[in-house]
């Protein structure tokens, strides 16, 4: 008998404007709020503390999580709060604080576990993350993009290795996720644009990928529709309703890719983003139309379904892919996102010198194997080149 497939999600997803106040109903004795300086400056960390105190919990705040958090930060939290021994861990902020809080939960419950044993680097980790039974985890996202508040993944960096090292375990899906659009109202426009396109990438990649299934597809398709319909209005700044829908779309897309997978766009974006210091969302946003064009030849039926859900009048998969690529490129343009890596300001010589290495590394990047079209290394070189020159003829 083969193992059953599982749909994993937080035990509870509480959503709606004002839902952040539900923190006061979280049961426990001691809570550590893991967040960053931005959340402190905006008063959100203090509000969280107050809600928890109202609920009778002793609350402390760690607000030193940096963007793309390092394992060293997580171990620092473990050491600093060893005596405090929280039974509730709250990750509040963008993907970075939420990921750091997920990882802290593991090392708080299992202080002798080594990061090297549980991270994904070149292959499967040496040991699985042991069960987490002493703590509960609450996540509340302040950006509308990463979906980390709904997933089993925590991405950390290791300063000793120039690569992101994810931890993946069903045990680190947050126990309770609070999706309160009020928290995201403070996002600067570039963060809204980049993170919104990241959410769109999650939704599309998880819908067309080989791990997609009837349960994940419902989430992914809904997220595509919400992002395509609301991202431009959310960016314009006038439409609070659109920003609210974008905040839900990010978590829904998170559920989609957590129960399917991201694909080749994330592999491309990871390589270019790391080498040329582009944000994760922007690196994905630029590559997305080219990767859709690349996948269009084999995932036509899935793209037809997306086009239908969006109400496009496409007669066949080719038209569906063209329409989608055109619309996404237009939306990205409206958000001020350049159409190629050249336009974003990456120097040509430096980029071209890296293409072979990018292609070789993207070929073995884990999400590439979940992509609907399995690329050769030569095809990847053409794809990386197209993302730079803007020439779809190369794809």
Q: What is the C-alpha to C-alpha distance for residues 167 and 110, in angstroms, rounded to an integer?
A: 14
Segment interacting with Fe ion, rule: CB under 5 A, options 11-19, 56-64, 100-108, 194-202: 194-202
Could you tell me which stretch among 26-34, 133-141, 195-203, 346-354 binds Fe ion (CB under 5 A)?
Answer: 195-203
Q: Report in angstroms how near the CB of residue 150 gets to Fe ion at its nearest.
A: 13
The residues near 184 (Cβ < 8 Å, ≥ 6 apart) are: 141, 142, 143, 144, 192, 243, 246, 247
- Which of 198, 270, 305, 381 binds Fe ion (CB under 5 A)? It is 198
Binding window for Fe ion (CB under 5 A); candidates: 198-206, 214-222, 337-345, 365-373: 198-206
Nearer to Fe ion, 99 or 198 (CB): 198
DSSP string covering 335-366, please? Answer: TT--SSTTTTT--HHHHHHHHHHHHHHHHTSG
To Fe ion, the closest distance from the beta carbon of 19 in angstroms equals 24
Is 205 near Fe ion (CB under 5 A)? no
Question: Applying CB under 5 A, which part among 197-205, 218-226, 297-305, 322-330 lies near Fe ion?
Answer: 197-205
Q: Which is nearer to Fe ion, 31 or 272 (CB)?
A: 272
Instruction: Give the nearest distance from C-beta 197 to Fe ion in angstroms.
Output: 9
Q: For residues 33 and 258, which CB has a smaller minimum distance to Fe ion in the complex? A: 258
CB nearer to Fe ion: pick between 22 and 152: 152
The CA radius of gyration of the chain, in Å to the nearest whole number, is 20
Closest CA to 387 of 336, 335, 357, 351: 351
Residues 14 and 230: their CA atoms lie apart, in Å, by 21
The residue count for binding Fe ion (CB under 5 A) is 1
Does residue 162 contact residue 274 with C-beta atoms inside 8 Å? Answer: yes
Q: Which residue has the CB atom at the shortest distance from Fe ion?
A: 198
Q: Collect all residues with Cβ–Cβ distance below 8 Å to 46 and sequence separation of at least 6.
A: 40
Nearer to Fe ion, 260 or 382 (CB): 260
The nearer residue to Fe ion, 125 or 147, going by C-beta atoms, is 147
- Nearest CB to Fe ion, comparing residues 143 and 322: 143
Output the smallest distance, CB 289 to Fe ion, in A.
16
- Write down the least CB distance from residue 164 to Fe ion, Å: 11
Q: Where are the beta strands (DSSP E) in the chain?
A: 12-15, 30-34, 58-62, 88-93, 136-141, 153-158, 161-168, 176-179
**Helices (H) and strands (E) in the chain — how many of each?**
15, 8
Residue 198: strand, helix, or coil = helix
Segment contacting Fe ion by CB under 5 A, of 11-19, 29-37, 190-198, 320-328: 190-198
CB of 314 to Fe ion, least distance (A): 26
Tokens at residue 184, please? Answer: 């995201």
SS3 150: helix
Q: Between 194 and 381, name the residue whose CB sits nearer to Fe ion.
A: 194
Q: How far is the CB of 227 from Fe ion (least distance, A)?
A: 13
Contact map string, positions 250 to 289, toward Fe ion, x by CB under 5 A: ----------------------------------------
Q: List, edge to edge, every strand of the sheet that includes 176-179.
A: 12-15, 176-179, 136-141, 88-93, 30-34, 58-62
Residue 151 CB, shortest distance to Fe ion, in Å, is 10
Identity of the residue, 35 or 279, whose beta carbon is nearer to Fe ion in the bound complex: 279
Give the closest residue to 193 by CA, choosing from 266, 283, 255, 268. Answer: 283
What tokens appear for 97 in the block? 């604080």
Kindly state the smallest distance separating residue 135's Cβ from Fe ion, in Å: 26
114: left (phi over 0), alpha (psi -120 to 50) or beta: beta
| Binding site residues, Fe ion, CB under 5 A | 198
């Amino acid at each position: 008998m083969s193992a059953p497939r599982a749909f994993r999600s937080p035990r509870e997803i509480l959503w709606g404007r004002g839902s952040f106040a539900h923190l006061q109903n979280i049961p426990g004795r001691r809570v550590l709020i893991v967040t960053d300086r931005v959340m402190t400056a905006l008063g959100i960390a203090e509000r969280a503390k107050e809600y928890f105190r109202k609920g009778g919990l002793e609350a402390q705040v760690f607000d030193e999580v940096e963007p793309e958090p390092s394992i060293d930060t997580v171990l620092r939290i473990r050491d600093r709060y060893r005596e405090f021994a929280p039974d509730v861990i709250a990750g509040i902020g963008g993907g970075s604080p939420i990921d750091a809080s997920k990882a802290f939960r593991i090392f708080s419950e299992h202080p002798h576990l080594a990061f090297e044993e549980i991270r994904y680097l070149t292959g499967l980790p040496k040991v699985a993350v042991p069960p987490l039974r002493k703590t509960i985890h609450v996540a509340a996202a302040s950006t509308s993009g990463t979906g980390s508040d709904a997933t089993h993944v925590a991405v950390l960096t290791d300063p000793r290795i120039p690569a992101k090292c994810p931890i993946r375990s069903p045990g680190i899906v947050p126990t309770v996720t609070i999706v309160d659009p009020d928290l995201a109202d403070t996002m600067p426009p570039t963060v809204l644009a980049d993170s919104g396109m990241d959410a769109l990438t999650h939704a599309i990649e998880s819908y067309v990928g080989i791990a997609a299934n009837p349960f994940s597809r419902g989430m992914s398709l809904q997220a595509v529709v919400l992002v395509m319909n609301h991202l431009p209005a959310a960016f314009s700044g006038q439409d609070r309703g659109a920003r609210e829908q974008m905040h839900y779309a990010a978590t829904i897309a998170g559920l989609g890719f957590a129960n399917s997978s991201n694909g080749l766009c994330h592999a491309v974006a990871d390589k270019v983003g790391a080498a040329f210091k582009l944000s994760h969302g922007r690196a994905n946003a630029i590559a997305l139309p080219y990767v859709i064009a690349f996948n269009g030849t084999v995932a036509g039926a899935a793209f037809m379904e997306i086009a239908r859900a969006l109400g496009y009048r496409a007669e066949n998969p080719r038209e569906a892919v063209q329409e989608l690529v055109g619309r996404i490129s237009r939306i990205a343009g409206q958000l001020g996102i350049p159409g190629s890596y050249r336009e974003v300001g990456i120097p040509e010589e430096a980029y071209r010198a890296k293409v072979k290495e990018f292609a070789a590394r993207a070929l073995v990047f884990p999400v590439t194997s979940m992509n609907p079209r399995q690329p050769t290394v030569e095809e990847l070189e053409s794809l990386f080149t197209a993302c730079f020159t803007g020439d779809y003829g190369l794809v």
